[in-house]
Chains A and B, each alone.
Chain A
Amino acid sequence: MSKIYETVIGLEVHVELATKTKIFCSCSTAFGGAPNTHTCPVCTGMPGALPVLNRQVVEYAMAVGIATNCKITQYCKFDRKNYFYPDNPQNYQISQLYLPICRDGGIEIETAAGKKTVGIHEIHMEEDAGKLVHDEWEDVSIVDYNRSGVPLIEIVSEPDMRSAEEVIAYLEKLRLIIQYLGASDCKLNEGSMRADVNLSVREAGAKEFGTRTEMKNLNSFKAIARAVEGERARQIELLEEGKKIIQETRRWDDNKETSHTMRSKEDAKDYRYFPEPDLVPVVINDEWIAEVRSRQPEMRQEKMARYQTQYGLPAYDAGILTGDKTFADLFEAAVEICGKPKKVSNWIMVETIRLLKENGMSPDQIQFSPENLAKIVRLSDEGTVTNTVAKEVFELVFLKDIDPEAYIKEHGLSTVSDEGALRAAVEQVIRENPQSVEDYHNGKEKAIGFLVGQTMRAMKGKANPAMVNQLLRELLQAI
């Protein structure tokens, strides 16, 4: 009989904070600048350059700690982690080992297996490294230090997760909390949120943990889920063969769905941490914590309740809209402009989600403005355009953020309510579809639907549907 194994998973999540400047210098953190344009002596590790801590980094870290039920370390400081790599110009990274800013928290997750709390061991502040691009033509790498010194927090969970499903639930919850706080945009594909997975397996019921491995290079939730499954299977196979698991860092290759070992013995993991002499300690008094706490924005649960009471939305709508920060922001801004919450909700929940799926996009890739969404809602609600036309125009809003009002005017897409024009169109449809007319007279109500459809088609979707219906019935009676 084969053994039953339990998977034990802990995560180290790095999040790039949404500050304007780097953690220790006044260089910009803007994404996509030309190589090395956002650099100075501090973030390129010039001798004698001195770091000065960005206050906003401390406040974001505190905000995340408070929202994840951590204790704030009221006397905290930085440490030096020493290693050599071309992306690290100082030959050390300023991080926190001994007194990280937050400790002993946790968040509740919910999966098919039920609710549980995943503990947060600690959150610490540190600086990001530069970026290495491997040249395709020559056997060299090119280094860009624009990311060097960009502030990160590393959120270290307890080994409390037992499945890929729990890992994803934890990450989604964490991401939502941080996005609501505005502390980061948490885009996995752009690297502003990165997760390393520590995983071990043990026989069900065993008290001791098995030997764990650390998996890196995971840049989507799907890749993380596949890596968890893949590593679990690899470790179980080794144990079944009576082999040992080696504690090591492995790099996940999502295309091949396998991992391979990353570090050689030459690079021993001995970082020789010591207290950072160039930075003074950070003392956080009760007043400061209270101040940050009082500024915490509305979180998902409160927002969900408010959408139901203030806007009268069904719980289902409120759940979906608040499940993604982009949806919630878009919804609130559009309602502010047009004042029609349920209509705005429908446009987001039906058309927007459909188009996101069709285009293989995630909500954070939405390009259109709440102004243009509000216009579509108003134009279709007022009957300026028919539903059909509104949906077509909305596709262009979704893809290119066009101004729907101007577009409708320019292309003459307004609803036709001119009785003469509609009567002519209906008469022609009746002439061209004698079979349907006969069916109608033989009591087939459905036939009228077909004739309405044909008229709408002839009018390119612009005909006032109520008038078409009425005219059709009137003219059919007359036959």
Chain B
Amino acid sequence: MANIISDDTIEYVGILAKLELKEEEKARAKKDMSEMLDYIDKLNELDTDGVEPMSHIFPVSNVFREDIVTNTDGSKDTLLNAPKQKDGGFMVPKTIGS
């Protein structure tokens, strides 16, 4: 393995992904991540000079909708996914400390 993932990196990625990992999970994730980076290094060996960066896998552009309202009241379906609800909204833990 050419790429070594540090404890700090795995901690940081965990925070970004909002994941709490156990020690053995961290070890496994470190190994997986270093293998992924090794694979990317392999791809980087390819000479891409003069090749346009690809922004999409399909050779398609300009797919648009016209600005017309066709959706009707979607609250019932939307709220089916709410673990808790109140006054027609999703109830979540308080987001701002005072």
Contacts and interface: CB of A to CB of B under 8 A. Distances in A.
Nearest to B58: A280
Given A132-B95, A270-B16, A53 B88 contact: no
Nearest to B70: A26
A406 interface: no
A36 B67 contact: no
A113 interface: no
Interface residues on B, range: 35 or more
17 contacts: A26-B70, A27-B69, A28-B69, A35-B75, A36-B89, A37-B74, A55-B67, A58-B64, A86-B92, A135-B86, A140-B86, A141-B93, A141-B94, A142-B87, A144-B89, A266-B15, A277-B56
Q: Give the dominant DSSP class at B's interface.
A: loop
Nearest to B98: A134
Q: Which interface residue of B66, B78, B79 has the most chain A CB atoms within 10 A?
A: B78
- Counting from the closest, the 8 A-B pairs by CB-CB distance are A35-B88, A142-B89, A55-B64, A56-B67, A36-B75, A143-B90, A26-B70, A39-B78
Given A77-B55, A132-B95, A280-B56, A144 B62 contact: no
B37 to A, nearest CB: 15
A145 B78 CA distance: 9
A275 B92 contact: no
Contact of B92 (A39, A140, A281, A282): A140
Interface stretch (A5-13, A17-25, A442-450): A17-25
Contacts of B15: 266, 268
B66 A39 contact: no
A99 B60 CA distance: 17
Contacts of A245: none
Given A134-B96, A141-B92, A272-B16, A26 B68 contact: yes
Contacts of B79: 36
A40 B71 contact: yes
A16 to B, nearest CB: 14
Q: Which interface residue of B16, B65, B73 has the most chain A CB atoms within 10 A?
A: B65
Contacts of A139: 93-94
B91 A142 contact: yes
A282 B70 CA distance: 23
Given A21-B69, A142-B92, 17 more contacts: A25-B71, A27-B74, A36-B78, A38-B71, A53-B63, A54-B67, A55-B64, A77-B56, A135-B86, A135-B91, A135-B94, A140-B86, A141-B91, A266-B15, A272-B16, A280-B58, A283-B61
